[in-house]
Amino acid sequence: MKKRGHDSFLALAGILLLGAGLFLLKTIDNLQSTLQALPYILIGLGCGLFGHGMGNVISRKALKNNPNVQKRMEIEKNDERNLAISYRAKAKAYDMMVLVFGALMISFALMNVDVLVILLLVFAYLFVIGGGVYYRVKFDKEM
């Protein structure tokens, strides 16, 4: 019951953010340069939250009347082989992301893009790398 309310809240919040973004897009003409992206950010977040919330609500309703399928999906979700595959895919995606972020920062620097954009990318890159180092040390201590 609690999870269903959470998913419905996410869908409602998504609709509200989407509506706020569309309202700002249609009503405000001269936004300052820093606020020009705000309506589009609200629209993107609204669509994402709505899709996530409604997807969970719909899948829960579809599985509610079929407990066998629900139990089989739960077993597949928690299966060690599937978890190992998922973790390995995440590790490969992390490795690719580090290379792509590095190449993107270098290409932006060579194109003389605004320093603020490059610094934001550098801080995001360092945040991700720092998180990887933190969890590496944490898991090394546990194992």
Q: What is the DSSP string of 63-115?
A: HHT-HHHHHHHHHHHT-HHHHHHHHHHHHHHHHHHHHHHHHHHHHHHHTT--H
| Residue 111 DSSP one-character state | T
- Three-state DSSP state, 13: helix
Q: What tokens were used for 135?
A: 């969890």
The domain limits of the chain are 1-78, 80-143
Q: For residue 126, what pLDDT band results from cuts at 50, 70 and 90? A: very high
pLDDT over 90 at 38, yes or no: no
Q: What is the pLDDT of residues 98-125, one digit of tens each?
A: 999 889 889 988 998 888 888 888 999 9
pTM of the complete model beyond 0.75: no
pLDDT value at position 2? Answer: 59
Band of pLDDT at residue 1, cut at 50, 70 and 90 = very low
Alpha carbons 22 and 58: distance in angstroms, whole number: 25
Query: How many Å apart are CA 99 and CA 103, to the nearest integer?
Result: 6
Mind listing the pLDDT tens digit for each residue in 74-95? 887 778 888 888 889 998 999 9
Residue 122, number of CB atoms within 10 A of its CB: 14
Read off the amino acid at residue 102.
G
